[in-house]
Amino acid sequence: MVLAAVGQICSTASMSHNLQQCRLLVQKAVSMGVKALFLPEASDYIASSGPETISLAKDVKESEFVLGLQEEAQKANLCINVGVHEPAQGGQKVKNTLLWIDEKGEIAQRYQKLHLFDVEIEGGPVLKESNSVEPGPSILPPFPTVFGNVGLMICFDLRFPTISTALRTHPHHPAHLLTYPSAFTLPTGHAHWTPLLRARAIETQTYVIAAAQVGRHNEKRVSYGKSMIIDPWGRVVAELDGVDVDGGKELREGEGLRGPEIAVAEIDLGVVERVRREVPLRARGDVYGEVWG
């Protein structure tokens, strides 16, 4: 069994502010003997407009935020999974990227968000992520870690179970743990966050770690929060608070619920093995096909 920490922050347009929040979470994680810290989508910054989102994006080799976390990972001998922005080719859009920084401080894996959040909710937010973000080209195969094989996804990918099923059924490295770092809105968070996360854990029989943004980022954006870790049986084994609908109006810019927080849980591959043994899922690929061919 290995300890994992799920982190919750409120990112603003200030990378230095956001890096300081994440440094605090690294310190908390290290003090608890954690082997990996999972941070939210867009931990480096959340801007108030598409043009600002594009202008703030930095190459990871030049980003004070990424370089700072690489330094923290190396000093603490800690893996860090974190969502950031990278410039896309042509400079007209950015990439919504999830990095796996290993315990040596090296960027070992990166995944680019496939599904973009374009919504118009009656009485709620109107968000068009595709105006400023370039969708990713492919699924990243699961990769080995101290937690078993890890499969990376981001936020809106949660609504597309084909990806999680593909990661679970990879022919060489089937996933034992799936990630969904996110910045869910209040309406979608209240309605769908927990049910979707539990469903992905149950149907894939994997651990699910969902690090969430929480609080008011700017005058336009408030995130739901409620970061959690779910086991392969669908039990929530670690959880942080979320924002209620009315409470979101009261939060000031840059304010979450209780500041940067973590929740910790043991990742036990024995639980994965037991659940899969007791409730075997024999997919009928001969009938409806296989993602990996």
> What is the set of active-site residues?
41, 113, 155
DSSP letter for each residue of 14-52: -HHHHHHHHHHHHHHHHHTT-SEEE--TT-S---SSHHH
Six-digit token string for 165: 């099923």
The candidate with the shortest Cα–Cα distance to 133, out of 62, 54, 71, is 54
Terminal CA-CA length for the chain: 33
By C-alpha distance, which of 267, 213, 258, 228 is closest to 79?
267
Q: Give the contacts of 137 (CB within 8 A, at least 6 positions apart).
A: 112
Cα gap 97→43, rounded to integer Å: 10
